[in-house]
Amino acid sequence: GKKRYDREFLLGFQFIPASI
Amino acid sequence: PEIVKPEHYIKHPLQNRWALWFFKNDKNKTWQANLRLISKFDTVEDFWALYNHIQLCSNLISGCDYSLFKDGIEPMWEDEKNKRGGRWLLTLSKQQRKTDLDRIWLETLLCLIGEAFDEHSDDACGAVVNVRNKGDKIAIWTTDCENRESITYIGRIYKERLGLPPKVVIGYQSHTDTATKSGSTTKNKYVV
């Protein structure tokens, strides 16, 4: 299926540092 | 040993790979020479890494553009995916640069990378912001100006996502009409 992301989900990653 | 779950190290893939372009107006160069590819990304995390690294639109000087397009589509009318298309255009007042420009541009980006237009997301090619002293513009470009169903669907969702009240009307214009207009305004092919 399509990878759809709503705005809250996307915004939740703004200030999470890039992973290990 | 501690087991790290995949969701903690696998980045979240986007449906599409996107390319961010920057245009800076230098009258001594051709239009194409003023257009530069900044970077491409295809995960949520890489989008933010790029977004957080670059200037906000409101900090750019007049004459600059950002464009975000699907990988393989160049941010110009001439591209095969754009030449029969058009754009939903938002024209901002001078005052809105301080209050709305950055918010609307980010919302536009999130609509695109999150595939907000459901089955019509395939019709969306990209978006452009023009920073201009006379008034900034933001537009979502779609691939086929005759595809009324997709265009109006995209327009309705976009308007909803921007929180525009029903009395505010936004217009869609074909690139052909924009390129061949004689005055300063282009006729709307669709409105929502």
Q: Residues B23-64: pLDDT tens digits? A: 999 999 999 999 999 999 999 999 999 999 999 999 999 999
Would you state the pLDDT for residue A17? 64
- Is B52–A4 a contact, with Cβ atoms under 8 angstroms apart? no
- Is B114–A14 a contact, with Cβ atoms under 8 angstroms apart? no
Mean pLDDT of all residues in B122-146: 98
CA distance B12 to B64: 30
Residues of A in contact with B47 (CB under 8 A): 10
Q: How confident is the model at residue B184 (pLDDT cuts 50, 70, 90)?
A: confident
Chain A, nearest residue to B52 by Cα = A14
Would you state the pLDDT for residue A18? 56
Q: Is the pLDDT of residue A20 over 60?
A: no
Nearest one of B156, B123, B153, B128 to B140, comparing CA atoms: B128
Q: How confident is the model at residue B99 (pLDDT cuts 50, 70, 90)?
A: very high
pLDDT mean across residues, chain A: 85
CA distance B67 to B119: 23
Nearest one of B107, B122, B120, B114 to B164, comparing CA atoms: B107
CA distance A12 to chain B (A): 10
**How distant, in Å, are the alpha carbons of B73, B158, B161 from that of B77?**
10, 21, 26
